[in-house]
Amino acid sequence: MDYQVFTLPNGIRLLHKPTTSLLSHACIIINAGSRDEAQGKDGLAHFIEHLLFKRTKKRSTNQILNRLELVGGDLNAYTTKEYTCIHASFLNPYLERAIELFQDLVFHSVFPPDELDKEKSVILDEIASYQDQPEEAIQDDFEDILFARHHLGRNILGTSDSVKDLQRPDILNFLKANYNTHEIVIGVLGNYDFKKLCKTFTKIYGSLPENKVSLNRRPVTDYNPEGKTVAKTIAQTHCVIGNQAYSIHHQNKTGLLLLNNLLGGTGMSSRLNLQIREKYGIAYTIESNYTAFSDTGIFSIYFGTDAEKAARATALVYKELKKLRENKLSAVALRQAKQKFTGLIALGEENRIGLIISMSKSLTDYGRADTLEEIYTKVNAVTAEQVLEIANEIFEPSKLTTLIFEPSE
């Protein structure tokens, strides 16, 4: 392995990947996101992520924001449906400053009432801005159909009404119920001696009390494919087609990642881009995406086009899906797909902050992080027969949900 892990008695883990760079990257991953919110508390996990930066027992907002920026560092955070992440990039001498700041934000934020009201206003503007972008809004509405009556389908930001109703006790209850110290990983990518790093880590995190609570995530059970068209005051037609997909633990996960990249993933040479944009000039943006969760996943295809071209674009998408369901990839096509995919994975490793976040998530999900060679082995083990099987399961027309935003008259 090209990384090391150290675990404190309270369950908090340190993952270190050594480098020789003068620049370091670090993150704290908490296995808690929007799907863990109580009924009626939509947007709470994201609200907390914002408020972590607003005041701690010993720091003001300005002191928090300046703690790394004054030494040329960068600090940011995000919330997903299953995670909360704070991450930073900084020069090597400021490691202790960075990971101590993580500790202060996550474990000592005070959530002052005056900041709650201000941050609600910020998030309400964020929701409004999001709704003004149909290519973004349609993805959230699509997931709401895909996971009807389940928290995985809810918008991470929440709704205007739910955010307005959030109160300080809701925050404290969520932290107690979901910030399990055994589900927290601090990832560090940098040029440090591991023993010294563990000593610093223990000094900062070792005295924190253990909070060992169980994840109480409601499983996804029902799925009823649906076709829905919504009129909007927009200039173009936007469309999402997709299905529920494999979880992070499914044996076909790697195969679907490969298939997704072949069909509509990164780059201009994907099948959807070559057929629908390059050959016919129908859509400026067309792509496919696969997101895996702990117990399910999402596969989707998105495109935006002029209203009069939408029907043809949709037909061409289904034509490409049918090809993959009916025709096994040739040895050459499979080899080329693997070469492209593994190359993109290698390029992704150059995104250093993305790499340490990915490794920290893997430690949370699987108890280990794969090396690049191990990832290549998994990709190269995918067979043409497996790809055909996946295509027939995920792209089965009767299982696909379609959501269309079309311009109103």
Q: What are the pLDDT digits (tens) for 270-310?
A: 999 999 999 989 988 999 999 999 999 999 999 999 999 99
16 plus 113 within the same structural domain? yes
User: Is 213 within a domain?
Assistant: no
Distance CA 288, CA 266 (A): 9
Same domain, 242 and 183: no
> What residues make up the domain containing 276?
227-407
Residue 361 has pLDDT above 80, yes or no: yes
Bridge partner residues of 363 (DSSP): none
The reply to whether 217 falls in a domain is no
Is 311 found in the same domain as 180? no
On whether both 192 and 242 belong to a single domain, the answer is: no
- Is the same domain home to 357 and 305? yes
Do 194 and 236 sit in the same domain of this protein?
no
Burial of 298-318, coded b for 16+ CB within 10 Å and e otherwise, reads bbbbbbbbeeebbeebbebbb
Domain boundary among 137, 172, 205: 205
Domain presence at residue 215: no
**184 and 243 share a domain?**
no
Q: Greatest CA span in the chain, whole angstroms? A: 67
**Does 218 map to a domain?**
no
Instruction: Provide the token pair at 251.
Output: 């044996």
Enumerate helices (H) and strands (E) in the chain, giving the number of each: 15, 11
Are 201 and 231 in a shared domain? no
126's tokens: 């964020």
Per-residue pLDDT at 1: 64
CATH number at residue 133: 3.30.830.10
Q: How many domains does the chain have?
A: 2
pTM confidence score: 0.94
pLDDT tens digits for 186-239? 999 999 999 999 999 999 999 999 999 988 899 998 899 999 999 999 999 999
Quick: pLDDT tens for 91-126. 999 999 999 999 999 999 999 999 999 999 999 999
